[in-house]
Amino acid sequence: MSLQRRSSRNACVIRVYGSTACRKAARSKSAFLDRGKPSGYTAAVGSDGAVGTTTMRDRRHGEAIRYIDLFCGIGGFRLAAEQVFSKYKLPATCVFSSDIDPRAREAYKANFGDEPAGDITQIHEDEIPDHDILFAGFPCQPFSIIGNGKGFNDIRGTLFFDIARILAAKQPDGFILENVKQLIGHDKGKTLEKILRVLREELGYAVHYRTLNALDYGLPQKRERVIIVGFRGPAAFEFPPKQKSFAPLSKILERNVAEKYYASEYIRNKRRAKHTPSARPSIWHENKAGHISSYSFSCALRAGASYNYLLVNGERRLTPREMLRLQGFPDTFKIVGSESQARRQAGNAVPVNVVRAVFESFLPALLNGRRTRK
């Protein structure tokens, strides 16, 4: 079996070739889709040997699932999606990506082969290719300043409006959105209420949401995020169950770390006087008042965190590679730009393990739901 990846601007296609690979892929896909109910999806193999997706948009057998990646950052959503598509031998195409940060776009291009478009607010929805799935990790913004209008007038001027206008124009079969946990109580719950109302009543999606913690999906980082998923019609979707444990910090921390990451001996002694190191690797958190707590995991990475925020046994700050590992990025992921840029990008990224777990539950529900609506 050979796995080929073809890249072009805003396109990445994964296909599996060879008759043996196709038979294995069909069995793998069948088992994968059996996870979702109702059943009824039949895997198909195209004439070129690629595993087909017969349920999406009624296209011909063998065509790839198309998705877009909005507010993509360095590509956490895309990485998770590619891992799932590759695991189950599903052909998939990223047909569009976008981010306002030019440095993040450079990192995305270095790792995925195509450069995202820029500011989504400046891109008309007609310029965006048709797609089956929309991914977006959008910023949390106050909606109360807009007033008490209804529908799209109630969200105009926010970045969620750009998601909504694209959903309205392109009508993909499903979407996954990610936001900070504060979205739940933001503006006394009015922000989330308006988002859900637009998605359900204005756009007609069946919507599910939940706050998930990266700690529950294998990462030693307490990072809680609101995940919102939607389907264009009924779908038997359930959020993924929690895992029993997370990876130890020893698998995250690098060896032979450069001296520049270490605090001075004076600072280290001062910290040790306040807090006793544990026998195992731990992350120390020092607040503005100087109080130190230590854990076997990291608190949520933040793009603008000070050097004192994340400390390894009180001695040094985390390296960019360690920060990426805490977010679920493999060591093959290329770090692009300055160290401060890399730290910011890691802090802004979505936790890959969380998105991957959600997508593994989302995809069979989407495919089977589409099949039963024919």
Tens-digit pLDDT profile for residues 308-351: 456 776 678 889 999 999 999 999 999 999 988 998 999 899 99
The residue ranking higher by pLDDT, 255 or 241, is: 241
Find the mean pLDDT for residues 175-179: 96
Q: Are 296 and 248 in contact (CB under 8 A)?
A: yes
The residue ranking higher by pLDDT, 233 or 81, is: 81
Q: Which domains, and CATH codes, for the chain?
A: 2-244+349-372 (3.40.50.150), 249-336 (no CATH)
The secondary structure of the chain, three-state, reads: CEEEEEEECCEEEEEEECHHHHHHHHHHHHHHHCCCECCCCCCEECCCCCEECCCCCCCCCCCCEEEEEECCCCCHHHHHHHHHHHHCCCCEEEEEEECCCHHHHHHHHHHHCCCCECCHHHCCHHHCCCCCEEEEECCCCCCHHHCCCCHHHHCCCCHHHHHHHHHHHHCCCEEEEEEEHHHCCHHHHHHHHHHHHHHHHHCCCEEEEEEEEHHHHCCCEECEEEEEEEECCCCECCCCCCCCCCCCHHHCCCCCCCHHHECCHHHHHHHHHHCCCCCCCCEEEECCCCCEEEECCEECCCCCCCCCCCEECCCEECCHHHHHHHCCCCCCCCCCCCHHHHHHHHHHCCCHHHHHHHHHHHHHHHHHHHHHCC
Summarize pLDDT for 219-242 with one digit per residue, the tens.
998 899 999 999 998 899 999 999
Mean pLDDT over each residue of the chain, to the nearest integer: 77
The least confident of 30-39, 161-170, 315-324, 357-366 is 30-39
Find the mean pLDDT for residues 169-181: 95
Residue 11: pLDDT band (50, 70, 90) is very low
* pTM tops 0.85, yes or no: no
Summarize pLDDT for 18-52 with one digit per residue, the tens.
334 344 444 444 544 444 433 322 333 233 333 33
The percent of residues in the chain predicted with pLDDT above 70, rounded, is 65
For residue 72, indicate whether it is catalytic.
no
Summarize pLDDT for 256-297 with one digit per residue, the tens.
888 888 766 666 666 666 656 565 666 666 655 555 555 567
Q: Give the active site residue among 22, 72, 94, 140.
A: 140
